[in-house]
Every structure is written in structure tokens, then in C-alpha cells.
Chain A
Amino acid sequence: MTPGCDDVLAACFLDEADAAVEAHVATCARCAAERERVGSVRALLAAATVPPPPPGLSAAVRRAAGPLLAANARRASRVLVARALAVALLVLPVVLLADLRVGTLVYGALTALLPRALGLYVVSSWAVTVTGLLALTYAAIPIFAERQAAALSRTIHG
């Protein structure tokens, strides 16, 4: 595409003049004259230097952001635990139904071999053990969630 005079002006200002722009300037007296003026504007703007940021500025920003970051961390932790619990609770009915089914089958088999009371005792003990293990598993979810968050952080910072 052949550049127009407007494109030439911007290209010279932004120092993006390519071969097509150069070719246009070579044949257009108006653009050649404007290029000179653009150069003087560039020279003026080049003097618009900005001092470097004060040394303590970023440290002050980090201090000011501390409470906000802590709030973010608390929120993120709550969200992670809530998600993990939601997923775990989703499968809980299946686990309970499976346990109930296994318990019924085992109780049926035991009562065929042992006195009914002894069979009931064995199955009850098993049910209590399974319930305890499930409670421990669910209680460990927040700990695992926290470790997961820490591992993610380590991945980012190498």
C-alpha cells in the first residue's frame, strides 16, 4: 500500500519510516518539508526526560499493599478450601452408599457363620473405623489445600 502524506507524518514522528515512506518523501516536496518540522518536534520532546523513581517508592508501595495482600491471601485460601470441600462432599454420598452396601453384605455373611451379636459387633467396629478415617480425610482437606497453594507459589518463583 502506498503511504499517504498523513501516514508519512506519523511514521517520521514515531521513527517508523520504512522504504515505502522514504520513497514517498523522496517524491513529495510537502512531506520532505514536514519531515524537517517533525524532526524539530522530536528534538523538543526528547528533552522531556523524566527523573528516575525515588529510591524508597516501591518499598513504600509494598508496605502499603501489605494488608491488601494479606486479605487476598485469606480470601484465596478460603476459596481453595471451599472448592476442595465441595468436590469432596460431592463424592461423599457415593462413598457412604458403597460402605453401607459392603457393611450389609459382610453382616449377612458373618451372621451365617457367627452368632448374630458378634457379627453386629464386627460390622459396627468396621463402620466406626471407616467413619473415623473419613472424618480424618475431610479434616485434612484444608491442610492439603494450603500446601497446594504453597506449591503453586514455589512453581512461580522457581
Chain B
Amino acid sequence: MATDEELIAAVARGDEVAFAALTRRWERPLFQFIHRHTGGRDVEDLYQETWLRVVRAGRRFDPARRFSTWLFQIALNLCRDWHRAQRADPVDPDDLDRMPAGGSSPDRAVDARRLLAALPEPQREAVILRYFHDLREDEAAEILGCPRGTVKSRLHHGLRKLMEIARR
């Protein structure tokens, strides 16, 4: 089976079969990544734009890097632009106080999304990459474009904040 790096090199040469294989392979992780960043809004548009950027920039991909890191980096940049454009409606921590303790599963899913949304963007990015996508600190650091120690510290502060909110 061809590696991601071989497939992206083929995409840079205009290979449609390679592109189909890449999109199949990364469909779910990328969709989930964007969904968690935007809270489920405009996911399909951002998903499509991510892949179009991958095709456009394919020939500039450095084969020494991991494709997944590069892909998430593109998606993250788009999500950041999206947040700036939205001037994302901030989550009022007081609203979180009113989160029901129990509740049905959809309610809990909404609560969980609101909990994540309550984090400042840098901390939320670190939590999503480390907790939901199970990436190592160095991989998360490369995607976020910051040192490993910063990822560690953002995760720590994010976690403290989550615990603080959950305790209310």
C-alpha cells in the first residue's frame, strides 16, 4: 500500500486515483478535526477547502515531513481564519454554570462542545490535538507552530480550566 507521502507526490502530478485514496484515508480524522474546531459549523466548506489547498500546494510538500502533520496544519490555518472571520461568539462561562448535571446523550454532547468552546483558542487547539487526535507533543507542536514546551503548558492550563468549569 502506498504511503501518504507517495500519494501526495502523485497528487502533485495530477493523479486522481492517488487523490481519491488520500481523501478516503483521511476523510474521517480531518472531518472530526475541523468539526471540533468549529463546533460543527461550516465543516463541509472548510473540509473541501482544505483538500483543494492540498492539491494546489502538493508540489511544495516536503517529503521529509509527515503528510498528516501538513494536512492538519492546513486545516488548522483555515479554522483559525474561520474563527477570525466569525469573530466567534464567545462562550459565557456563566452559561456553563447552567449546564445540566445529567441529561440525555445529545445534551451531553452539546455540553461537551460548549466546554471545549469555553477554552481560549490556543488551549483548545492543544487539547483537541492531544486528547481527541492522540497526537504526540512534538507532532502537536509542529502543527501548532510552537515549541513542545508550549504545547505542554497550553494543555496543562486548558486542563486546569476544564476542571475548574466541570467543578462548578
Please determine whether chains A and B interact with each other in the same assembly. yes
- Mostly, the A contact residues are helix
Asked if B159 and A61 sit within 8 Å, CB to CB, the answer is no
Q: Does B80 contact A (CB under 8 A)?
A: no
Q: Does A153 contact B (CB under 8 A)?
A: yes
Q: Does B16 contact A (CB under 8 A)?
A: yes
Asked if B28 and A52 sit within 8 Å, CB to CB, the answer is yes
In the complex, chain A residues whose CB is within 8 Å of the CB of B23: 58, 61-62
For the complex, what is the distance from the CA of A54 to the CA of B162, rounded to whole Å? 30
Q: Does B14 contact A (CB under 8 A)?
A: yes
Q: Pick the residue among B24, B113, B163 that contacts A58 (CB under 8 A).
A: B24
Asked if A45 and B131 sit within 8 Å, CB to CB, the answer is yes
Comparing A70-78, A99-107, A117-125, the segment that makes contact with chain B is: A70-78
Give residues 1-40 of B contacting A (CB, 8 Å): 2, 6-7, 10-21, 23-24, 27-28, 31-32, 35-36, 40
- Mostly, the B contact residues are helix
Q: Does A37 contact B (CB under 8 A)?
A: yes
Give 1 or 0 for each of A38-77: 1 = CB within 8 Å of chain B CB. 1011001111111111100110111011101111111110
Q: Pick the residue among A10, A37, A60, A69 that contacts B16 (CB under 8 A).
A: A69
User: What's the interface size class on A, roughly?
Assistant: 35 or more
Q: Does B76 contact A (CB under 8 A)?
A: no
26 inter-chain pairs at a CB distance below 8 angstroms, sorted by A residue, are: A6-B156, A9-B160, A10-B152, A10-B156, A14-B130, A41-B115, A41-B162, A44-B115, A50-B35, A50-B40, A53-B27, A53-B28, A53-B31, A57-B48, A58-B20, A61-B23, A61-B47, A62-B20, A68-B55, A69-B19, A72-B59, A73-B15, A152-B13, A156-B6, A156-B15, A157-B21
A residues neighboring B (CB under 8 Å): 6, 9-10, 13-14, 34, 37-38, 40-41, 44-54, 57-58, 60-62, 64-66, 68-76, 149, 152-153, 156-158
